Amino acid sequence: MLDHDLDIDLDASLCRQELSSDEKLKLLFEYAGSIADEKRLDNLLQLMADLGRQLVVADRCTIWIYDRDKDELWTKVAHGVQEIRIPGGTGVVGHVIKTEKEYITNDAYQDPNFNRDVDKRTGYRTKALLALPLYDNEGRIFGAYQAVNKMTEAHEFSQVDIENLKMVASYSEKSLANAMLNEEIEKTQKEIIFLMAEIGESRSKETGNHVKRVAEISALLAKLYGMSDDEADLIRMASPMHDIGKVAIPDAILKKPAKLTDEEFDHMKEHTSIGHRLLKNSERRIIRTSAIIANQHHEKWNGKGYPAGLKGEEIHPYGRISAIADVFDALASARVYKPAWDYQRIRNLFRDEKGQHFDPKMAQIFLDNFDKFVDIVENYKD
């Protein structure tokens, strides 16, 4: 714990100069396009925090979000620390949320509105602090923009800093509010997707954990294959719908404990095309991705899969990933018609089917990281 008398201005080498007007203008132009184009909430908030820190010459900037339902403040982006959650009415940010007015203190530990608990938890020492409210498109306060510790020789924030941060906030608020709305829509979509997927799986006596396992296995394989975190998250959200077409398969086939006849199996295979038809016309990228996965997760690298007999890279990467995830979980889990396979037997099958059923590169990545995928199955056991 830092001593309470410690003063950050002891290290003069950390001091920086205020930006000139030209430097501020240049900085704003550098960030303007990125902020306007960014659709992901986390990335947008990080841009805002980075811009604010440079603009007012602060050590750190934090974007706090106010959760009205829980009356809680939490840091969506905070330089130098992990997520922090505090009661909604506490600290300088709580005061700003309550009063809807900007606030400056240059001697935080003597300020009655300052909450020392955050410093105690992080080991950081706050001296100077400013904060201002953030508003959504309807004029409701939804959070606060906070700068901590002025890094010029004076070590004090001023009204000019408030005006500079206001400029950043006013430029960014519309983008921020839209990004938050999109994130809420995606969160709702994810919940609906999992609910629909669990309904579909329950008809064939599978569990919701099958849905979760396939989602996590798919996301991990996507990352190991080299896809971005954004694309891996997209696959995680979309893959639970891979078998949604089973809702249209008769119970006599879907729940049959014995081996299916050729005619019954042909009927079962239709779930891929049915799922694709159900999902393909959506404008939402999660649902469009689900349509691809539903349609192609039974295609095989050698062209002997269904429904279209696609071969090699004719199969979308999402379909190739889902094929591995679905088969792995199906083999590792007990079903009405079979017991779970042991992991060595599964490993051997994937070695044999590399370049046959499965994309050889993806299959090798899967085998090289086999224990990580086993951990997912074990963590989400039925």
* pLDDT tens for each residue of 326-347: 999 999 988 766 789 999 999 9
- Given a cut of 60, whether residue 232 has pLDDT beyond it is yes
- Given a cut of 70, whether residue 199 has pLDDT beyond it is no
Alpha helices in the chain (DSSP H): 21-37, 41-55, 91-99, 117-122, 159-203, 208-225, 229-238, 251-254, 262-279, 285-296, 317-332, 343-353, 360-368, 370-379
At 4, the pLDDT band (50, 70, 90 cuts) reads very low
Region at 356 (left for phi over 0; alpha for psi -120 to 50; beta for the rest): alpha
Cα-based distances in Å from 336 to 205, 258, 298: 8, 9, 20
Residue-wise pLDDT tens digits, 148-188 = 999 998 899 999 899 888 877 776 666 666 666 666 656 65
298-307 mean pLDDT: 97
The set of residues, in sequence order, having a beta carbon less than 8 Å from that of 113 and lying 6+ positions away, is 91, 92, 94, 95, 103, 105
Higher pLDDT, 211 or 353: 353
Residue 326 burial by Cβ neighbours in a 10 Å radius (0-12, 13-18, 19+): buried
Phi and psi of 337, rounded to 5°?
-105, 5
Closest CA to 68 of 94, 98, 88: 88
Does residue 246 carry a catalytic annotation? Answer: yes
What angle, rounded to 10 degrees, do the helices at 317-332 and 285-296 form? 60
- Per-residue confidence (pLDDT) for residue 187, from 0 to 100: 65
- Per-residue confidence (pLDDT) for residue 78, from 0 to 100: 66
The average confidence (pLDDT) of the chain is 84
Domains and CATH numbers, the chain: 8-172 (3.30.450.40), 204-379 (1.10.3210.10)
At 285, the pLDDT band (50, 70, 90 cuts) reads confident
- Say what the pTM is: 0.56
Cα-based distances in Å from 232 to 238, 279, 286, 358: 10, 20, 12, 19
Confirm if 234 and 286 have CB atoms less than 8 A apart.
yes
* CA gap 381, 379 in Å, rounded: 6
* CA gap 23, 26 in Å, rounded: 5
Choose the catalytic residue: 76, 127, 212, 246.
246
25-53 mean pLDDT: 78
189-208 mean pLDDT: 58
195-216 mean pLDDT: 68
- Per-residue confidence (pLDDT) for residue 106, from 0 to 100: 95
Higher pLDDT, 324 or 249: 324
- Per-residue confidence (pLDDT) for residue 3, from 0 to 100: 36
Cα-based distances in Å from 242 to 117, 200, 287, 297, 299: 46, 10, 11, 7, 12
